[in-house]
C-alpha cells in the first residue's frame, strides 16, 4: 500500500494547470511513481467538459496527484476521490455532499471538483487526479456555477483551518486509503458511502450531455454498478458516468 512516504511533493507559486504540469513531468520523465503538485495559483486551470477552473493566489486548494496506474485499474476513481476529500472536510464538521460523479457540494453549492485523466507516459500507464477546492470566496460567473459556489471559510472558522499544504497532505493520504480500500474491499462499500452523501437524492434533475439537456426525472441514487438512476415518466433510466452530468431542475 502506498503511504505519504512514497509521495514526491512539488510546490509551486503559480502554474498553468497542476494536471497539465504533472502530465508533462511524467511524459518528460521528470517524475515517476507517486507525485503531487500543489500550487497557490493556476493561470489555466481546467475543469470537466472543457470548462475552466479559477484559482487566485491562496484562495483555493489546487493539487494533482499522479499514480503509476492505468485508469481502468481504478474504477469509479472520481467517486473514490470525492469521498476521500469529503471525509477530510467532515473532520472540520463541514456537511459535505457529493454530486455524482465528481463534485463536492455544501449547502447546495459547489465547493470543489475532481478531474481525473489517464495516459501512457514513457514509464508506463499513469493517472493524474486533480482536486480543486474553494477555500476563500471565489468569483465564479453564474453561468458556469449554476447554483453558485461555496467556500470552506463559509463553513469553518478560518483560524482552525490547516495550511493548504496540510490540507493537501490530508487529502492525498485519504485518497490513497480510499483507492486501496476500493481495490481490497471492492466497490460496493464505496457506493454505500457515496449514497450517504448523495446531494441530489430525491430531487428533480436534468441529465445533460455536453451541456445539452437529454431528459429529466427524480434522482434515485447510485445502483450496484455505479450508474445513477433517474425515475422518468417513461420508467427508470440509468446514467453512466462519462460525458453525462446532472443538474437540479429549475
Ligand atoms: C470540475 O469541477 O469540473 C473539476 C475541477 C478540477 C479542478 C482542479 S484544480 C487542480 C487540478 N488542475 C486543473 O487544471 N484542474 C484540477
pLDDT in tens, 64-74: 999 999 988 88
Ligand 1 pocket test target in 38, 47, 103, 211 with most atoms within 8 Å of CB: 47
Q: Which residue has the higher pLDDT, 156 or 185?
A: 156
pLDDT at 51: 87
Torsion of CA 153, 83, 140, 63, to 10 degrees: 90
For residue 200, how far is its CA from the centre of ligand 1 (angstroms)?
Answer: 21
Ligand 1 pocket test target in 20, 41, 52, 53 with most atoms within 8 Å of CB: 53
| d(C-alpha 102, C-alpha 249), whole Å | 18
pLDDT tier at 145 (50, 70, 90 boundaries)?
A: very low
pLDDT digits (tens, 9 = 90+) for 102-137: 899 999 899 999 999 999 987 789 999 999 999 998
Index of the ligand 1 atom closest to the CA of residue 39:
10
Biggest alpha carbon–alpha carbon distance for the chain: 53
Residues touching ligand 1 (Cβ under 6 Å) are: 17-19, 42, 45-48, 51, 53, 62, 64, 103, 113-115, 130-132
The pTM of this model reads 0.92
pLDDT digits (tens, 9 = 90+) for 201-238: 999 989 888 778 889 999 999 998 888 999 999 999 99
Amino acid at each position: 500500500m502506498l503511504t505519504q512516504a512514497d509521495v514526491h511533493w512539488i510546490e509551486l507559486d503559480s502554474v498553468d494547470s497542476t494536471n497539465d504540469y504533472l502530465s508533462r513531468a511524467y511524459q518528460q520523465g521528470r517524475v515517476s511513481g507517486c507525485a503531487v503538485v500543489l500550487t497557490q495559483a493556476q493561470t489555466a486551470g481546467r475543469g470537466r467538459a472543457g470548462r475552466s477552473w479559477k484559482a487566485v493566489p491562496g484562495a483555493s486548494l489546487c493539487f494533482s496527484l499522479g499514480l503509476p496506474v492505468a485508469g481502468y485499474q481504478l474504477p469509479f476513481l472520481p467517486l473514490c476521490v470525492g469521498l476521500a476529500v469529503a471525509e477530510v472536510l467532515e473532520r472540520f464538521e463541514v456537511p459535505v455532499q457529493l454530486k455524482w460523479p465528481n463534485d463536492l457540494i455544501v449547502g447546495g453549492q459547489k465547493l470543489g471538483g475532481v478531474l481525473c485523466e489517464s495516459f501512457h507516459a514513457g514509464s508506463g500507464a499513469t493517472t493524474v487526479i486533480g482536486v480543486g477546492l474553494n477555500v476563500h470566496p471565489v468569483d465564479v460567473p453564474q453561468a458556469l456555477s449554476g447554483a453558485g459556489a461555496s467556500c470552506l471559510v463559509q463553513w469553518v472558522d478560518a483560524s482552525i483551518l490547516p495550511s493548504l499544504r496540510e490540507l493537501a497532505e490530508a487529502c492525498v493520504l485519504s485518497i490513497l486509503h480510499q483507492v486501496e480500500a476500493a481495490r481490497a474491499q471492492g466497490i460496493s462499500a464505496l457506493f454505500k458511502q457515496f449514497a450517504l452523501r448523495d446531494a441530489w437524492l430525491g430531487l428533480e434533475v436534468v441529465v445533460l450531455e455536453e451541456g445539452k439537456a437529454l431528459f429529466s426525472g427524480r434522482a434515485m441514487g447510485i445502483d450496484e454498478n455505479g450508474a445513477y438512476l433517474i425515475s422518468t415518466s417513461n420508467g427508470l433510466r440509468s446514467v453512466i458516468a462519462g460525458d453525462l452530468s446532472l443538474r437540479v431542475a429549475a
